[in-house]
Structure 1
Amino acid sequence: MKTLLVTGFEPFPGMPVNPTSLLVERLPKRLPSVRDVEFRFALLPTTWSGRKEVTDALRSTLAPAAIVHLGVDGRRRTINVETRAVNRATRIRPDADGQHAETPFLDRTGPSQRQSTLPARALQQAALRTGVPARLSVDAGDYLCNATLWDSIASGIPSIFIHVPSLPRGRFERRPSLQRVEAGVAAILIETARRI
């Protein structure tokens, strides 16, 4: 039995309701079983210290065959499949503990970027088939989303990061509903499970 690790994030400054927390809670009840694959879900703290204490521990304890990280980007109106992580970290925005990244680089001696190691286009197409808007992206940001993908790629475990939009704020909002995003993410996870 192979393990597919799926992570979301807790709330953080500026995002008091993180839709990925809701997805991690809802998706286990929605996903069909996939032969020889076990879905494992975890919620990550939105802290720089949690990057090592929690995320590294999950990778080593579960030894997953693949990882799909979920995060929110309040500026976007689509699901975004991140194709790379970059070697940078913001020193401006604090984490949920009020702390900042120690340096502007994730790895002072590392490469400038790392490519996602799961098939981004196939996962984007899986989401699109549900009717939810989905794009490929080359900008995972410079916050914990990008850092988490950076670390997972470096671990050698096939990994990708999926950014989802924040929850709609009213009936005239152009962001997709949580239900539509959930359907798209479920399709991405099923497609990933079939490929590992």
Structure 2
Amino acid sequence: MRLLVTAFDPFGGEPVNPALEAVRRLPAEIAGAEVVTLQVPTVFGRSIDVVTAAIDELRPDAVICVGQAGGRPDVTPERVAINVDDARIPDNEGNQPLDRSVADDGPAAYFATLPVKAMVQAIRDEGLPSSLSNTAGTFVCNHLMYGVLHHLAVGGRSEVRAGFVHVPFIPEQADQHPGAPGLPLGDIVRGLTSALVAVVEHREDIALAAGATH
């Protein structure tokens, strides 16, 4: 089994991206599966091109994209990606699309095909904070999640599971954002590792109360 794990470079004026730093520290093998990592530009359009090219070349069994969600206190697998680009800030090449579709020929949304609830439970079992998120935003993270799922759907490759995980700031970033929570990098690595074990071990998701009231 092969897992493709991607992470964005720093963006929004941050000196580091905890997603990238954590993904770089993942072991080369998790639960018997090969782990291949990939750095992705925080750029609309190009991010999808980079990851879908890697999918076509590497033929992974699952694709787990990872990004930074500064302000969140926990590791959050994403349930859904929506067909909207609406950038509050420019990406790393100055692009700032507003109210555009990720794919003109795509549906309104795609649900992750990863066992997202099993991933949440696995992270919690490590003693780390985790919850299931129902919004990946409308920046490059959502853009990439939607683009990967669209690429797989259009290509008729339902056997390849895919989705997205957001991670919080690390403490040195949080210190620069008063009131923002942070999670040590080592904990983020442990959380992601646990989530990847769940991807390997759970073809079908588990039943878990992980909804939200708002």
TM-score normalised by the chain length of structure 2: 0.82
Which of 136, 160, 164 is the aligned partner of 1:161? 164
Report % sequence identity. 30
Change (3 A) 1:52 1:176: closer
Q: 1:20, 1:122 → 2: CA distance?
A: 20
Q: CA deviation at 1:102?
A: 7.5
Which residue number corresponds to residue 31 of structure 2?
A: 34
Which residue number corresponds to residue 188 of structure 1?
A: 195
Q: Number of residues paired by the alignment?
A: 191
Q: Name the amino acid aligned to 2:31.
A: V
Task: Tell me how large the CA RMSD over aligned residues is.
Answer: 2.0
Matched residue SS, 2:37:
strand
Q: 1:103, 1:166 → 2: CA distance?
A: 27
Q: 1:138, 1:39 → 2: CA distance?
A: 26
Q: How does 1:102-141 map to 2 (within 5 A)?
A: 104-141=100-137
Q: 1:89, 1:77 → 2: CA distance?
A: 24
Q: How does 1:1-196 map to 2 (within 5 A)?
A: 2-28=1-27, 33-35=30-32, 37-101=33-97, 104-154=100-150, 155=152, 156=157, 157-168=160-171, 169-170=174-175, 174-195=181-202
TM-score normalised by the chain length of structure 1: 0.89
Unaligned runs of 5+ in 1: none
Q: Which runs of 4+ in 1 moved over 6 A?
A: none
Does the 8 Å CA contact 1:132/1:176 hold for their aligned counterparts? Answer: no
Q: Deviation per CA, 1:132-187, whole angstroms, max 9, x where unpaired?
A: 110001100001111111122221431110000011235x9742211112111110
Q: CA deviation at 1:21?
A: 1.4
Change (3 A) 1:52 1:161: closer
